[in-house]
Structure 1
Amino acid sequence: MPKLFDDARSYVLGDIDLELIGDRAKLAQWRHKGVGPAFYRLGRKIIYRGADLNAWAEANRVDPDA
C-alpha cells in the first residue's frame, strides 16, 4: 500500500493532512477511548508520528476480497 503519511514527519492537531483519517473531534474521541493511532501528549499538545499513522491505517485496512 502506498504510504498515506510521510514517515519522517510529525503531525499536530490542525494539520490538514490529519483530516484524512478524522476531524479534531473524532481524533479526540479515539484518544479518549484508546482506539485511534498512537500519539504523544506533550503538555496540552498532541503529536502523531507519520510512521504511527501509516501503521494504524494499514492495521485497519479492509480487503473486500478476503
Structure 2
Amino acid sequence: MAYLFEQDRNYVLGDPELEIIGDHQKLAQWRHKRIGPAYYKLRRKIIYRGADLNAWAEANRVEPSRGEMN
C-alpha cells in the first residue's frame, strides 16, 4: 500500500503536507467536530502522526464502482 504521509513522521499545523487533506481552518473545524484524523494536543500545539493520517485517509478512501454505466 502506498502512503500519503510518512508513517514515522510527526506533522504540525503549518506543514505544507497537511494541505493534502485540508487547510488550517478545515482541520480546526474537524477537530472541533471530532470528525478528522486523530491528533495530539500538547498545550496549544497540535500534532498529527503520519500513521494516524494514513489510517484516516485509508478509512475515507472511496472505491468507484466497476459496474456498467447507464
SS across alignment from 1:63: coil
- 1:34 equivalenced with 2:34 (yes/no): yes
**Structure 2 letter corresponding to 1:3:** Y
Aligned twin of 2:14: 14
Can you give the 5+ residue segments of structure 1 that lack an aligned partner in the other structure?
Answer: none
Larger-gyration structure (1/2): 2
RMSD: 0.9
Give percent identity, aligned residues only: 71
Residue-by-residue CA offset, 1:8-53 (whole Å, 9 max, x unaligned): 0000000000000000000000000000000000000000000000
Structure 1 residue 46 and structure 2 residue 46: aligned?
yes
The count of aligned residue pairs is: 66
TM-score (norm 2): 0.91
Partner of 2:2: 2
Normalised TM-score (structure 1): 0.97
